Structure 1
Amino acid sequence: MSQYVKKQVRKWGVVSVVVLSLATVMLTGYTKYQHIVSDQPDSANLAAFVEPGFPYISTSVDARNIGAGFPKDNQAARTLALQLGDSAYACFDTDQLRWSVAWTGKFLPMVLMAQVSYKKFFNKNNEIARLTGEPKIATGNYAGWTVGKPVFRNGQQEGEPTWKPLPADQARWNGSYVFGSKAILSYSVGNSKIYELPGSRKFGDQVAFTRNLRIETVDKELYLTAAEVSNGAGAEVKGKVAYIYQGANKDSVTAIGIAGKVDWKLEINENKYITVKLPASAKQALGMIVMWKGPAKELKAFEKVCRTKPELFPDFEKGGPAAWKETITTKGKLSPDTAAFVTDQLTLPLNNPWKRNVRLADIAFFPDGRAAVVTFEGDVWTVEGIDKDLQNVKWRRFASGLHEPMSIEVVKDFIYVFDRNGIVKLHDLNRDGNADYYENFSNVMSQSAESREWAADMVYVADGSFYIAKGGSLSNGPGMTSKAPGKGFRTGSDQNGTILKISPDGKQFEVIATGLRGPYLGFNPKTGVLTATDQQGNFVPSTPIYVIKKGDYYGVIPTAHRTDNPEIAPPLTWIPHSVDRSSLGQAWVTGNKMGPLNGNLIHFSFGTPGLFRVLIDSTSKIMQGGVSYINAYYPAPTSKGALSPVDEQMYVTGFNLWGSASTGISSLIRLRYTGKQSYMPSQFRAGNQGIIIGFDTEIDKSTALDPANFEIKRYNYQRTEEYGSGHFKLDGSTGEEMLPVAGAYLSADGKKVLLLVPDMKEVMQMEVGYRLKAKDGKKINDHFYFTVNSSDDIDFKKYGFDHVDLALLTANKEEMASQPVKVEIASAEKGQEIFQKMACFGCHSPGTKTDGMYGPPFKNLYKSERIFDDGTKEIADEKYLRESILAPSKKIVKGYNEEMPSFVGVLSDTDIESVILYIKDLKKSKN
């Protein structure tokens, strides 16, 4: 046995497929903080999701099956659910500019993702919003306003919507004004500008819905479709009231009336559509549409309501009264300067007068250092006092009512938010610290009501445009579309799983890339480079990082949205499941105060959680990259981040919900450079002769030159319709290849290590584990993960290496390849170690916990009866447990989704046997 092999066996052991992983380093560092949670809200003290003083929430709604006589194709992805008083409510579809449904009784059930998790922080069991009150008025999936003539479905049959807004040259949603508890809707139809003040009027025990309209410049006839009634027993128009009677004795009626001094006329089309005709006029018109459904005996009382005056519009264009006047002050928590990078915590304003939860999704900065943050519940807060000490951080609510927003940008002192409604530009008209006008900057992107078609990310470009990323329409949740274009997906919109560029005026879009599952973005304003992550899952074998180029396709068939059979663009790098099973945003360090991270791309992991430094090898024929973990304390999942223009440090937001190793609910942290020495990898190059890894510090020569201090393995993934992927050798067989280090060299500057590695080839995943010392004596035990897209020759002199003996690559090849295989014995203790190393505990509790867990708990799992989503049953014996590890998508336990990758080629037979022994032991455990 050569001296190389003896050292290798002595220092590392003959390593099985479960090796020392970055997950071990991260999770060991993390678990000592498990008892600490960041800004944990008390769900018992939180107020309801719907606030009575705000006029609406944004939502989707399914009103397809609300009863006889109502349209059957009534579903909408973008609606304002309006609170009109007198237990009256209406949904205004901002895509079709229609009242999709109006009802009385109870408001919509709070069942969407942000709503069900608002107080139950780990509840992912969202549902579809359907009426629980009594429906009164509805229209189908067609334009609420048209020019020249009424149009109903354009001759199409009732069916699934296109999930698109009306063409802007025909009609466009402009936005909403908030004036106290009232909402004023603003939109354009043709060349006409329309303002609408929705409301209600009570008469006796009945409630009528009112649409107060202020209309400017009607140059062509306009038609408003007010109601559709398909089971009419008779219809008539008498003056300013139209009636459609229902029931065998015509004892029920839907009635639409016109109030005010206007020459509008009512029409009934096809005996079921009630429309209002507005003749061309240069004068401003102010009138009111009154809508009601009830017993015919109350018609006289209703007709009396129609003779009342329209409601006067408030002076909304100058801004309304402030809804949130208070400022909440919190004190941050500074970290001691124990490392090059530490995290300071900005305490969230959970102790606020409105008892509002604050789960931060994203952050952006004003030029003066003030910040704007957006929450998953749909609020925007402004933040001041972000200074060195963080002892007087001031929070102010600025906006509300948004629909599951995840992105925020500040452009020329205006706040832009990307939610399911589109890109919303917020205006504080009277400068009282509250938004008064929620402008529709852009809704040209398609948006379905599928619960996973997230408005995922948005970044600003200096020319005034925006890049946006849209989530794929995943099927691991309830949906409204029926077709399945591929495993794990629903149809959704024709832009799900894409990256788009939105024009500076917000009215045009350009498709940049398709074929993504759950993309999030990073943009470098200095270089114009756009990057993205994607979510491991069906068609995505592991977490990738991409450099986005126009026209690229990234391999997810259900979101390809093209027919030219394009090649799949390779990622910059893959990241193993155990290292980052759930990625999110990215941010570039474009300032000069983050020390060694200056100029770097930072990758955010939700699942781990934590931040990764991304290194890019741009000297190869095809760009390739790798990641290393930034060791710090992360009290909650890390989702998005931005660099402050004042201190130029990285501020990071995140909130918990979908399964993370963290137990924190939400946090805002500052990743701060202390000036201390960093020991992270800073550079890498992979080529035919091996691998170069550069470091932020000088490396001790004796440890750098010892090949036994390095461990290298490689493997490929398989891209299939199944969730994630196992590990496969280059010949296609299952498993991972351990590669020898034939020789190790230290560069002239002492900061770069060259590893000579025989048989280097292009491969999807490589890992280098290293045990080194810095020149100052600091131990450096870590991993670097990367992809080899192009294996070409390395210019050693360029990197400071002289006298490299390439003969080592072949001299000991046979001896190094004869490394003996270690015989392992399965044990429950080893199974517990694997449970930690493979980050299984992020999805499966070793106890009985289910909150925040993607998979079933392990305690009492063995020999229990498992009921699957297809209704079949099976006992969880050894055979079942093995199958669940190797083919987890074969049988999905009822109540859970397909969200676990195969561990084929990742775990050995002994490893799997050990995990099963561990699960058996958990059944015996009393704790």
Structure 2
Amino acid sequence: MHPFLKKSGKYLSAIAISGLVAASFLLTGYTDTEKEILDRPDSLELNPFVEPGFPFISTSIDARKLGNGFPKDNMAGRTLALQLGDSAYACFDTDLLRWSVAWTGKFLPMTLLAQVSYKDFFNKNNQVTTLTGRPLIATGSYVGWSAGKPEFQSSDTYQPTWRPLPAEKARWNGVYVFDKRAILNYSVGSTNIYEMPGSVTFDNQTAFTRTFQLEKPTEALFLTAAEITNATYSEVKNGVAYIYQGANRDTVTAVGIAGKGKSALKAEVRDNKYLTIHVPAGSDASSMSIVIWKGSAKLKSKFEKLCRKTQIILPEFKSGGPGQWKETVVTHGQLAPDTAAFVTDLLGLPLHNPWKRNVRVADISFFKDGHAAAVTFDGDVWLIEGIDQDLKNVRWRRFASGLHEPMSIEVVKDKIYVFGREGIVRLNDLNNDGMADFYENFSNVMAQSSESREWAADMVYAPDGSFYIAKGGSLSNGPGVTAQVGKGFRAGSDENGTVLKISPDGRKSEVVATGLRGPYLGFNSEKGILTSTDQQGNFVPSSPIYVLKKGDYFGVIPTLHRKDKPAITPPLTWIPHRVDRSSLGQAWITGNKMGPLSGSLIHFSFGRPGLFRVLIDSTSAILQGGVSVIHANYPAPTSKGTMNPVDEQLYITGFNLWGSTSNGISSLLRLRYTGKPSYLPAMIRAGKQGIILGFDAELDAATASNPENFRVKRWDYKRTEEYGSGHYKTDGTSGEETLAVTASYLSADRKKVLLLVPDMKEVMQMEVVYQLKSRDGHKMNDPFWFTVNSAGNLNLDQYGFKNVDLARLSVEKKEIVSAKKDEMATAEKGKALFQKMACVACHSEGLKTDGMYGPPFQNLYKSERHFEDGTSIIADEKYIKESILSPSLKIVKGYNEEMPSFVGVLSDSDIESIILHIKTLPKK
């Protein structure tokens, strides 16, 4: 078995990689035998996350603890970690245009979320990135360049704003990739600057070089090259600025101008602390270099000699450089049999690639001709061709790399835009060789902290040229670099948990909505409707779907970001925990080739996984709606989807990490309409008289007219700081209400049923379970979940219902008590509940921890449990029951609070059955 399939001495099953591995081969003349070998999953290998031939990765850095003599206010949310050669590296802060830190030895440890899970697919134990090499040069969290006068700001208690400098003062423009070198581009005031970082060696020492190309500056510019906080002496000698450390001045940090003769640049020391470079106004600075070094003062003369002999010329990079990745990888898809109206075809991922690169597809977008661009959580962009009907020759080429946990991609007018933690990057292929040469900063105006869950969650394009983006809330799931501000939340930036609109030029943003925990977006460009999901958790009682408008607030107090006290905007619908405990993206079905789904909003469940059709009732005083499951094969989590403008089918991406019922690591699917009949719900109306539920297919009159074929339940949630919510009746007591269906009617077009339900009222959650047949005899036995925000009168005539006996609504209004409530508790029932209530997605019945949010259940009963607060207890019946009803009281050590209460969801008999099931699990 190949090491790729191993984890902690265990093996991933074949199903765990079913969505990840597909047949692929290079276009290099492989024989059929070689292709068969490449088809084997155990032939797969992965190289390290950082590739030695690529000049940078985008990352964050915490350099506050570099040691004596270095600034302590040194943390950056957006940097380029640059590989400079000879085991020399630097982090360039793209917000403040400074070298945060330069060092030698080892590169950065791979501790961020995408990095730790790159090979260890379910590893969520991310940490802030700190230095493990030997730091030599650093600056504090202040501007690296300034115009007019030098600017410094240093404080041991400084907290970053997590924002870029004002564009009129300085702006990051992007990075060019030229062979193995990175060339940075930014502006300071009105001066455009290109910089090529590098390194040189002398006498077993490493020095860092910064080579600049500047447009003629109209005002003086100042660069802070290094800060030394424990200086004992400083001087400028022979054109080199020195700051000494130590009582004997035996250690020195220096900056010098490279080359012989006079230079417009001036090396200076300021405040006996800062090494700076002064560029006078009007200087002819077409190309110049500086050299920075820290070492023994005995080597000063050798350093000065190095400065004089160093000559560095920027290459001709503006027209593009040599290609990084020249090979094409071909994969074979797998078509699903046409067994239903909607099926999922599997497109193979290019995992057998020459770079041994993981491919966890986060999002996909299409060009007008039907070829696509896909972005991976690992920071790569791939171009995909050959997406046709049979998927037998799908061709993949790497286009870009080095991005910071990107999760969204949009192709706009044949330009690729990617939203990652560095901002929105526009990728430019300058020489048309199929690879990006210039990673242009289209927009970094949004704030971005280093908190791992403040991810760049989603981006959608609007026809006016603007983008809407969704930013994750700064949850308390690591690394914890900002203060705790509420249960389950860190401070992060002041834009975490928000939806923003980015202007068409990328230079401005406006807040659309706040009070979100983990939003993802959908946008109907034809109707201008912006929609969103959110994640169940603290302050979010269950999974919601929202229709967004400017000024909305959705109830998460730590992400309010407002000084007023706005009302909480209700969702279009809630979705129960057992149905979708982890929501993700949305997509609107455009075109007319998806049959009855055309025009629909599609909701993506990560945890289930799978797709839901969203129905919207716009006739009520407040928007309301509901969801139904689109049954198909989903081998990996479903995260996002995009319509292909050529075949007008929906393409679905997703990758595993946070815990899902699916074990698949990643997949790229096509939801295809086969032309067969669809039996999905197609319309929801809820009001005073009851519920109207419409379907795509005509219904059998006998089953539709029998009220015994429908079961209706309702309950409310409680929005608190606790994770999720139990279920509560409308009178506030715990539990769910089962309502009487006193009559059911079939509409004139045979596609709708009216359920007369007494005592209809506004409620957060309703469920209809139906047992119907279509007119062609197909059994239709599914649940439908919806929310009633407004229970007004229904216009029954409008929907084709005649001769409805509304007197049936006057029957005695009493709750029907389920006979199951008094059932005897059994281990078998407990096992079934373990599956039904989605416990299986977070807790293993064995010892598995990979991909699980909660601790395993094997060996649980009568074991000693150790908690985050330092206490412990024996796991008896009382403890297990308490954990089900009040899970936040005791959090098992090593885990987070990510389980809702099952108050009102499970009866005493249900809980006893689960305990019996846990007792039956074998001991190991």
The TM-score, its normalising length taken from structure 2, stands at 0.95
Question: Which amino acid in the other structure matches residue 864 of structure 1?
Answer: S
**Separation of aligned partners in 1, 2:64 and 2:740:** 63
Residue 875 in structure 1 maps to residue 856 in structure 2: no
Question: Which amino acid in the other structure matches residue 152 of structure 1?
Answer: F
Note closer, same or farther for the CA distance 1:203–1:597 as it changes in structure 2 (3 Å cut).
same
**Separation of aligned partners in 1, 2:241 and 2:143:** 20
**Separation of aligned partners in 2, 1:270 and 1:543:** 55
Residue 253 in structure 1 maps to residue 247 in structure 2: no
CA RMSD of aligned residues (A): 1.4
Question: Which amino acid in the other structure matches residue 445 of structure 2?
Answer: V
Kindly state the Cα deviation for residue 818 of structure 1 after the two structures are TM-superposed: 7.5
Note closer, same or farther for the CA distance 1:43–1:277 as it changes in structure 2 (3 Å cut).
farther
**Separation of aligned partners in 1, 2:389 and 2:418:** 28
Question: Which amino acid in the other structure matches residue 135 of structure 1?
Answer: P
Note closer, same or farther for the CA distance 1:730–1:813 as it changes in structure 2 (3 Å cut).
closer
Q: Counterpart of 2:174?
A: 175
Pairwise mapping of residues 785-796 of structure 1 onto structure 2 (< 5 A)? 785-796=785-796
Residue 412 in structure 1 maps to residue 393 in structure 2: no
Pairwise mapping of residues 865-904 of structure 1 onto structure 2 (< 5 A)? 865-904=864-903
**Structure 2, unaligned runs of 5 or more:** 1-12, 22-40
Kindly state the Cα deviation for residue 157 of structure 1 after the two structures are TM-superposed: 6.3
**Separation of aligned partners in 2, 1:147 and 1:209:** 24
The one-character-per-residue Cα deviations of 1:671-691 (angstroms, maximum 9, x if unpaired) are 000000001100010000100
**Separation of aligned partners in 2, 1:713 and 1:759:** 12
Note closer, same or farther for the CA distance 1:37–1:734 as it changes in structure 2 (3 Å cut).
same
**Separation of aligned partners in 2, 1:756 and 1:360:** 46
Question: Which amino acid in the other structure matches residue 852 of structure 2?
Answer: M
Pairwise mapping of residues 35-54 of structure 1 onto structure 2 (< 5 A)? 37-40=18-21, 45-54=45-54
Residue 294 in structure 1 maps to residue 305 in structure 2: no
Pairwise mapping of residues 22-33 of structure 1 onto structure 2 (< 5 A)? none
Question: Which amino acid in the other structure matches residue 613 of structure 1?
Answer: R
- 8 Å CA contact 2:726–2:903 kept in 1: the answer is yes
Relative contact order, higher structure (CA 8 A, sep 6+): 1
Q: Counterpart of 2:227?
A: 228
Pairwise mapping of residues 154-233 of structure 1 onto structure 2 (< 5 A)? 158-233=157-232
Q: Counterpart of 1:329?
A: 330
Note closer, same or farther for the CA distance 1:594–1:232 as it changes in structure 2 (3 Å cut).
same
Note closer, same or farther for the CA distance 1:488–1:608 as it changes in structure 2 (3 Å cut).
same
Kindly state the Cα deviation for residue 252 of structure 1 after the two structures are TM-superposed: 0.9
Question: Which amino acid in the other structure matches residue 513 of structure 1?
Answer: A
Kindly state the Cα deviation for residue 310 of structure 1 after the two structures are TM-superposed: 3.3
Kindly state the Cα deviation for residue 258 of structure 1 after the two structures are TM-superposed: 1.1
Residue 707 in structure 1 maps to residue 707 in structure 2: yes
Query: Per the alignment, in what secondary structure is the counterpart of residue 317 of structure 1?
Result: coil
Note closer, same or farther for the CA distance 1:758–1:280 as it changes in structure 2 (3 Å cut).
same
Kindly state the Cα deviation for residue 821 of structure 1 after the two structures are TM-superposed: 7.2
Residue 758 in structure 1 maps to residue 739 in structure 2: no
Q: Counterpart of 1:88?
A: 88
Identical residues among aligned pairs (%): 70
Equivalent residues, number? 891
**Separation of aligned partners in 1, 2:822 and 2:872:** 36
Note closer, same or farther for the CA distance 1:193–1:36 as it changes in structure 2 (3 Å cut).
closer
- 8 Å CA contact 1:742–1:757 kept in 2: the answer is yes
- 8 Å CA contact 1:216–1:284 kept in 2: the answer is yes
**Separation of aligned partners in 2, 1:252 and 1:121:** 45
Q: Which one is further off, 819-828 or 438-447?
A: 819-828
Kindly state the Cα deviation for residue 811 of structure 1 after the two structures are TM-superposed: 2.9
Query: Per the alignment, in what secondary structure is the counterpart of residue 306 of structure 1?
Result: helix
Kindly state the Cα deviation for residue 479 of structure 1 after the two structures are TM-superposed: 2.1
Note closer, same or farther for the CA distance 1:818–1:523 as it changes in structure 2 (3 Å cut).
closer
**Separation of aligned partners in 2, 1:653 and 1:219:** 49
Question: Which amino acid in the other structure matches residue 424 of structure 1?
Answer: V
Residue 661 in structure 1 maps to residue 654 in structure 2: no
**Separation of aligned partners in 2, 1:874 and 1:792:** 52
**Separation of aligned partners in 1, 2:45 and 2:714:** 51
Q: Counterpart of 2:476?
A: 475
- 8 Å CA contact 2:759–2:813 kept in 1: the answer is no
**Separation of aligned partners in 2, 1:576 and 1:289:** 61
Residue 776 in structure 1 maps to residue 757 in structure 2: no
**Separation of aligned partners in 2, 1:658 and 1:174:** 34
Query: Per the alignment, in what secondary structure is the counterpart of residue 500 of structure 1?
Result: strand
The one-character-per-residue Cα deviations of 1:840-863 (angstroms, maximum 9, x if unpaired) are 111001100000100000011111
**Separation of aligned partners in 1, 2:238 and 2:693:** 83
- 8 Å CA contact 2:581–2:608 kept in 1: the answer is yes
**Separation of aligned partners in 1, 2:510 and 2:777:** 53
**Separation of aligned partners in 1, 2:415 and 2:16:** 39
Pairwise mapping of residues 466-865 of structure 1 onto structure 2 (< 5 A)? 466-481=467-482, 483-813=483-813, 817=816, 822-865=821-864
The TM-score, its normalising length taken from structure 1, stands at 0.95
Question: Which amino acid in the other structure matches residue 250 of structure 2?
Answer: D
Q: Counterpart of 1:239?
A: 238
**Structure 1, unaligned runs of 5 or more:** 1-31
Question: Which amino acid in the other structure matches residue 238 of structure 1?
Answer: K
The one-character-per-residue Cα deviations of 1:786-807 (angstroms, maximum 9, x if unpaired) are 0000000000010000011011
Pairwise mapping of residues 119-158 of structure 1 onto structure 2 (< 5 A)? 119-153=119-153, 158=157
Kindly state the Cα deviation for residue 147 of structure 1 after the two structures are TM-superposed: 0.7
Q: Counterpart of 1:18?
A: none
Question: Which amino acid in the other structure matches residue 141 of structure 2?
Answer: N
Query: Per the alignment, in what secondary structure is the counterpart of residue 378 of structure 2?
Result: coil
**Separation of aligned partners in 2, 1:435 and 1:716:** 51
Kindly state the Cα deviation for residue 754 of structure 1 after the two structures are TM-superposed: 0.4
Query: Per the alignment, in what secondary structure is the counterpart of residue 451 of structure 2?
Result: coil
- 8 Å CA contact 2:59–2:80 kept in 1: the answer is yes
Pairwise mapping of residues 443-462 of structure 1 onto structure 2 (< 5 A)? 443-462=444-463
**Separation of aligned partners in 2, 1:402 and 1:822:** 53
Question: Which amino acid in the other structure matches residue 848 of structure 1?
Answer: L
Question: Which amino acid in the other structure matches residue 18 of structure 2?
Answer: V
Kindly state the Cα deviation for residue 822 of structure 1 after the two structures are TM-superposed: 4.8
Residue 356 in structure 1 maps to residue 337 in structure 2: no
**Separation of aligned partners in 2, 1:136 and 1:595:** 63
- 8 Å CA contact 1:590–1:598 kept in 2: the answer is yes
Question: Which amino acid in the other structure matches residue 906 of structure 1?
Answer: V
- 8 Å CA contact 2:16–2:665 kept in 1: the answer is no
Kindly state the Cα deviation for residue 156 of structure 1 after the two structures are TM-superposed: 6.4
Query: Per the alignment, in what secondary structure is the counterpart of residue 489 of structure 2?
Result: coil
Query: Per the alignment, in what secondary structure is the counterpart of residue 882 of structure 2?
Result: helix
Query: Per the alignment, in what secondary structure is the counterpart of residue 435 of structure 1?
Result: coil
- 8 Å CA contact 1:861–1:923 kept in 2: the answer is no
**Separation of aligned partners in 2, 1:416 and 1:603:** 23
Note closer, same or farther for the CA distance 1:358–1:35 as it changes in structure 2 (3 Å cut).
closer
Note closer, same or farther for the CA distance 1:47–1:157 as it changes in structure 2 (3 Å cut).
closer
The one-character-per-residue Cα deviations of 1:336-379 (angstroms, maximum 9, x if unpaired) are 10000000000000000000000000000000000000000000
Note closer, same or farther for the CA distance 1:607–1:265 as it changes in structure 2 (3 Å cut).
same
Kindly state the Cα deviation for residue 282 of structure 1 after the two structures are TM-superposed: 5.7
- 8 Å CA contact 2:72–2:155 kept in 1: the answer is no
**Separation of aligned partners in 1, 2:203 and 2:270:** 31
Kindly state the Cα deviation for residue 867 of structure 1 after the two structures are TM-superposed: 1.0
- 8 Å CA contact 1:690–1:758 kept in 2: the answer is yes
**Separation of aligned partners in 1, 2:16 and 2:527:** 42
Question: Which amino acid in the other structure matches residue 377 of structure 1?
Answer: D
Query: Per the alignment, in what secondary structure is the counterpart of residue 285 of structure 1?
Result: coil
Query: Per the alignment, in what secondary structure is the counterpart of residue 318 of structure 1?
Result: coil
Question: Which amino acid in the other structure matches residue 684 of structure 2?
Answer: F
**Separation of aligned partners in 2, 1:247 and 1:524:** 64
- 8 Å CA contact 1:226–1:276 kept in 2: the answer is yes
- 8 Å CA contact 1:862–1:923 kept in 2: the answer is no
Kindly state the Cα deviation for residue 294 of structure 1 after the two structures are TM-superposed: 0.9
Query: Per the alignment, in what secondary structure is the counterpart of residue 807 of structure 1?
Result: helix
Kindly state the Cα deviation for residue 267 of structure 1 after the two structures are TM-superposed: 1.9
The one-character-per-residue Cα deviations of 1:70-124 (angstroms, maximum 9, x if unpaired) are 0101000000000000100000000000000000000000010000000011111
Query: Per the alignment, in what secondary structure is the counterpart of residue 303 of structure 1?
Result: helix
Q: Counterpart of 1:402?
A: 403
Kindly state the Cα deviation for residue 309 of structure 1 after the two structures are TM-superposed: 3.6
The one-character-per-residue Cα deviations of 1:578-606 (angstroms, maximum 9, x if unpaired) are 00000100000011000000000000000
Kindly state the Cα deviation for residue 262 of structure 1 after the two structures are TM-superposed: 2.2
